[in-house]
Each structure stands twice: as structure tokens, then as C-alpha cells.
Amino acid sequence: MLRVIRTELYFNPLEIKWQFPELIVSNPGISAAFFRCDPERFDFEKVISIPRFSDIIGGDLRTILSELAEQQATRELLVRAFLDRALQNAPFAYGLEPPHELNTNIIDKIYDEPIIVEQSPPKGIPFKEMVPGASIVTVGTYVASGDILLCLKVAAGIIIIGGAVAIVRAFDKGLTHVVERAIGSKDKTPARSTATTTRTRRK
């Protein structure tokens, strides 16, 4: 069984600034799906087709601090640009210059909203605390469709974010099964342990 906790934020389409009028949807929003797992064992390549953006390079302290500041600014631009395009149901490509941000006020609202993660009891953590705290931030195309998703690797698991329409399509195309494989892909039990388990069951 794979439990998924989803947080969904919806907006009035009249609030959104649309760069491409032909892509307007009647129920624009952002969805975040939390998957509890050991994030270190999560295989991104099974879920999305673009490699991660935010690995940190080493060096002396001054270099590391400089790189961290630069990385943090780049990460912020990446996430905000992604959210802006996802709200508009528009294609996203992150190059040297991110697309011009049209929906700053709404993105600020999203940053202030909590994302529910599975704890005991489930807890809402403001999105603005998750972005800098994530060890990996990745944007890529979901392998089973053309939809662009944002993935955050946080302490308790993985958060996959997308436009409400894109997340619905991703789940319809089997996102939960793909994530389940990505979670378990590096968690194979060695043969010796399997044999031990079998003996225990026979008793």
C-alpha cells in the first residue's frame, strides 16, 4: 500500500494572468503530493526525465558559502518560474533566463500556504520553509506523459508538485505506481535476509 497525502490550492481563473489564452483552464491550481519514504533511496530517474538541478559542489568555506547563496537564488527562481507556468497550464523550460513571472502575488500566497506531510499527526509545513530545506529540487517531465513536475526531497520523503490539471493527468497515467517503484527500486532485500524471513514464517 502506498499512502499519498495531497494538498490542493485552487484559484479563480480571473485572478491568473495568462500568457497563452488558448491554455486557460476553468479550475487553475497547484497540487502537492507527499510520499513518505527514505528520500535517499528515491530514484528520480524512474519518475522524471530531467536530471536534478540543486546538488552542491564542495570547496573551501568561502567558495561553499558563495555557491550556497548562488544556488539558493537559482533554486528560488526555478521554483517560482515553475509555479507561474504551472498555474497557467503552460509549458516550462528552465534555461539561463527563467520566464518572466506574471503571477507574483499568487506565487507569494502559495509560498505562505502549508503543505501537509505525513507525521503523527499529519502536519502542515509552509511551502516557503520546504524549498530552502529540501536537499534536492528537481524539475522534469513525468516519464508517462508530457507534463512537467517539480520534485522536492525533504527529510520525511518526497513531494511532487504540479499544476492541478497536470497532477490529475499524472495520477491517471500511473504516478503512484511509478513512485512506488522509485521508492523500492534500491531497497531490494538480499537473498540471505529473504531466507531468514522464510524460516521465521515457517515457525
- Which amino acid is it at 80? R
Number of domains in the chain: 1
pLDDT tens string 1-37: 788 999 999 999 999 999 999 999 999 999 999 999 8
Q: Is 89 left (phi over 0), alpha (psi -120 to 50) or beta?
A: left
Say what the pLDDT of residue 98 is. 59
**Cβ-based neighbours of 32, under 8 Å, separated by 6 or more:** 6, 7, 8, 115, 127, 159, 160, 161
Helix (H, G, I), strand (E, B) or coil at 153: strand
Say what the pLDDT of residue 13 is. 94
Helix (H, G, I), strand (E, B) or coil at 105: helix
| Burial category of 198 from C-beta neighbours within 10 Å (exposed 0-12, middle 13-18, buried 19 and up) | exposed
Q: What whole-number percentage of the chain has pLDDT above 90?
A: 43
The larger pLDDT score, comparing residue 161 to residue 45, is at: 161
**Residues facing residue 125 across a β-bridge:** 115
Say what the pLDDT of residue 41 is. 86
Q: Rounded to whole angstroms, how far apart are CA atoms 91 and 106? A: 18
The larger pLDDT score, comparing residue 51 to residue 159, is at: 159
Q: Is there a contact between 139 and 150 (Cβ–Cβ < 8 Å)?
A: yes
Say what the pLDDT of residue 129 is. 92
- Choose from 74-78, 101-105, 115-119, 153-157 the range with maximum mean pLDDT: 101-105
Say what the pLDDT of residue 15 is. 94
Say what the pLDDT of residue 156 is. 85
What pTM does this model have?
0.79
Please give the residue range of the domain that contains residue 43: 4-202
What would the mean pLDDT of 44-68 be, rounded to a whole number? 57
**Cβ-based neighbours of 73, under 8 Å, separated by 6 or more:** none
**For the chain, what is the mean pLDDT?**
79
**Residues facing residue 48 across a β-bridge:** 142
What would the mean pLDDT of 66-91 be, rounded to a whole number? 80
pLDDT tens string 115-169: 999 877 788 999 999 988 888 888 888 877 778 899 998 888 999 999 999 999 9
